[in-house]
Amino acid sequence: MTAEIIDGKAFAARVREKVAVHVARLKDDHGITPGLAVVLVGEDPASQVYVRSKGKMTVEVGMNSYEHKLGADTSEADLLALIDSLNNDPAVHGILVQLPLPDHLNEDLVINAIDPAKDVDGFCIANVGRLATGQKSMVPCTPLGCLMMLRDHHGSLSGLDAVVIGRSNIVGKPMAQLLLGDSCTVTIAHSRTKDLPDVVRRADIVVAAVGRAQMVPGDWIKKGATVIDVGINRIDAPEKGEGKTRLVGDVDFASAVEVAGAITPVPGGVGPMTIACLLANTVTACSRANGLEEPEELTV
Ligand SMILES: Nc1nc2c(c(=O)[nH]1)N[C@@H](CN(C=O)c1ccc(C(=O)N[C@@H](CCC(=O)O)C(=O)O)cc1)CN2
């Protein structure tokens, strides 16, 4: 039996449709247009693609998009001054600084300069603390997208064993907090975890977010488990022709699909949900900023 494929691209399109409905309501009923400011420092090719997609999709759902593209040699002071002006701009409800930043910039300092109410990435300390203590926060987009897909597939997650492989601030840690919030029994595994295959084999839910191509083979997966693959790794694909490459996840899809109950593909799984959830978070931030009820279906 092969697993159900969780179609993140289609799921993300549905989330964006819901976002568009709420944006139209904010405009028609309250005369407010949500605005998202995206800051890109430098010329990292992947970041340029993601920022372009974010701008395009922001406009498609009816929001205002403000793109700030800064040179790779931008000083910390100049970047902080831009963030300060965006914090104080009433037309901007969400601010995102695309990561990674060039090495000379202190990522923590920059992220924590964003007003927590506008931090639609949910990366600043205030939002991390609120999420960890079960308070209303901005929830990081990738884990939020994973949780939406898991809830849609399972209904309740209560009592399920979940393993998150990877302990990054952007995905692994917030993902674990969200699963805990939904009453899963959560293990965070990482490079020093002993007997990783055995730990993974016990899990009803596996979230792989390590950034190592095809690291998790199918024989680590419990029969019927749900596998959420966050990895996006580019590998050589000589079968496609000389010098060609392709994207793969952190899970070996071909073997895992034979054992899992459900699995997200790469590409077309978690990735598209990241941008859809960014748009959802911007609507949430805009609603909160204006003292309006926030759409329950766009957050957790
Ligand atoms: N400030 C932030 N920086 C970064 C984040 C983030 O959430 N906030 N996440 C990633 C990059 N990212 C969005 O910024 C992102 C990554 C991947 C995708 C996506 O749709 N991937 C596609 C494949 C795309 C391709 O062909 O290369 C997929 O998986 O199907 C969207 C957004 C790091 N930085």
Distance of CA 165 to the CA centre of its chain: 15
pLDDT score for 1: 73
Residue 104 sits in which domain range? 29-116
Is 11 within a domain? Answer: no
43, 91: one domain: yes
Strands, E, within the chain: which ranges? Answer: 4-5, 35-41, 64-70, 94-97, 161-165, 185-189, 205-208, 226-229, 233-236, 245-248, 262-263
pLDDT at 50: 98
Residue type at 210 in one-letter notation:
V
Contact 211 CB / ligand 1 (< 6 Å):
no
Domain match, 63 and 151 both: no
Supply the pLDDT for residue 287.
98
Supply the CATH number for residue 79's domain: 3.40.50.10860
Residue of 119, 121, 204, 229 marked catalytic: 121
* Whether residue 189 sits in one domain with residue 112: no
pLDDT, position 66: 98
Distance from residue 50's CA to the centre of ligand 1 (Å): 6
Domain boundary among 67, 82, 116: 116
User: Is residue 16 a part of any domain in this protein?
Assistant: no
The model's pLDDT over 206-227, given as tens digits with 9 standing for 90+, comes to 999 999 999 999 999 999 999 9
In this structure, the answer to whether residues 265 and 220 fall within a common structural domain is yes
Residues in the chain, pLDDT under 70: none
Share of the chain residues as helix, strand and coil, in percent rounded to the nearest 5:
45, 15, 40
pTM above 0.90, yes or no: yes
Stated length of the chain: 300
79 C-beta closer than 6 A to ligand 1: no
- 203 in a structural domain: yes
Whether the complex's predicted ipTM surpasses the cut of 0.95:
yes
Residues 268 and 171 in one domain: yes
pLDDT at residue 98 in the model: 98
- The residue annotated as part of the active site, out of 9, 27, 73, 98, is 98
Ligand 1, atom 21, lies closest to the CA of 271
pLDDT in tens, 57-67: 999 999 999 99
The count of domains in the chain is 2
> What CATH number does the domain containing 245 carry?
3.40.50.720
Q: 233: CA distance to ligand 1 center in Å?
A: 11
Q: Are residues 260 and 187 in the same domain?
A: yes
Residue 277 lies in a domain: no
In a domain? residue 131: no
Residue 213 belongs to some domain of the structure: yes
Residues 108 and 174 in one domain: no
